Amino acid sequence: MPLRAFQLPRIDRLATLYAFYPIAKLIGWSSRYSVPILTYHSISENLFGKVHPYHQINTPASVFATQMKWLRNEGYRTIDLGEALDGFETGRSLAKRFVLTFDDGYEDFYTDAFPLLLQCGFSATVFLATDRIRDSAVRVEGADYLTWREVRELHAQGITFGSHSVTHADLRSLGPDQIDYEIGYSKETIEQKLGASVESFSYPFALPEEDGDFIRYLADALQNMGYLHGVSSTIGRAMPKDERYFLPRLSVNSWDDVELLRAKIEGGYDWLHWPQWFYKFAHHSVALMAGRSLDQIGSREIRS
- Summarize as ranges the residues that interact with Zn ion (CB under 5 A): 103-104, 204
CB under 8 Å to 147, separation ≥6 — which residues? Answer: 107, 133, 134, 135, 136, 137
105 vs 268, beta carbon nearer Zn ion:
105
63 in Cβ contact with 260 (< 8 Å): no
Question: Can you give the three-state secondary structure of 198-262, one letter per residue?
Answer: CCEEECCCCCCCCCHHHHHHHHHHHHHCCCCEEEEEEECCECCCCCCCCEEEEECCCCCCHHHHH
Q: Nearest residue to Zn ion, using CB?
A: 103
User: Pick from 204, 136, 131: which is nearest to 174 by CA?
Assistant: 204
Measured on CA atoms in the order 105, 110, 113, 119, is the torsion positive or negative? positive
Closest contact distance (angstroms) between CB of 278 and Zn ion is 23
Q: How far is the CB of 164 from Zn ion (least distance, A)?
A: 6
The residue (of 164 and 193) whose beta carbon lies closer to Zn ion is 164
Nearer to Zn ion, 87 or 204 (CB): 204
| Phi, psi values for residue 282, rounded to 5° | -65, -40
Taking the complex as a whole, how short is the minimal distance between the CB of residue 179 and Zn ion, in angstroms? 16
CA dihedral 230, 234, 240, 241 (to 10 degrees): -110
Amino acid at position 43, single letter: I
CB of 63 to Zn ion, least distance (A): 20
Output 70 or 205, the one with its CB closest to Zn ion.
205
Q: Which one, 70 or 185, has the nearer CB to Zn ion?
A: 185
Q: DSSP secondary structure string, 170-195? A: -GGGS-HHHHHHHHHHHHHHHHHHHT
3-class secondary-structure state, position 99? strand
Q: What's the min distance (Å) between Cβ of 127 and Zn ion?
A: 7
Q: What's the closest the beta carbon of residue 263 comes to Zn ion, in angstroms?
A: 25
**Nearest-approach distance from CB 203 to Zn ion, in angstroms:** 9
Closer to Zn ion by Cβ: residue 65 or 129:
129
Q: How far is CA 248 from the centre of its chain?
A: 8
Provide, rounded to whole angstroms, the least separation between the CB of residue 265 and Zn ion: 22
Residue 114 CA to residue 116 CA, distance in Å, equals 5
Inter-axis angle of helices 176-194 and 212-224, to 10 degrees?
Answer: 40
210 and 284 in contact (C-beta within 8 Å)?
A: yes
Closer CB to Zn ion, 103 or 211, in the complex: 103
Q: Which is nearer to Zn ion, 24 or 166 (CB)?
A: 166
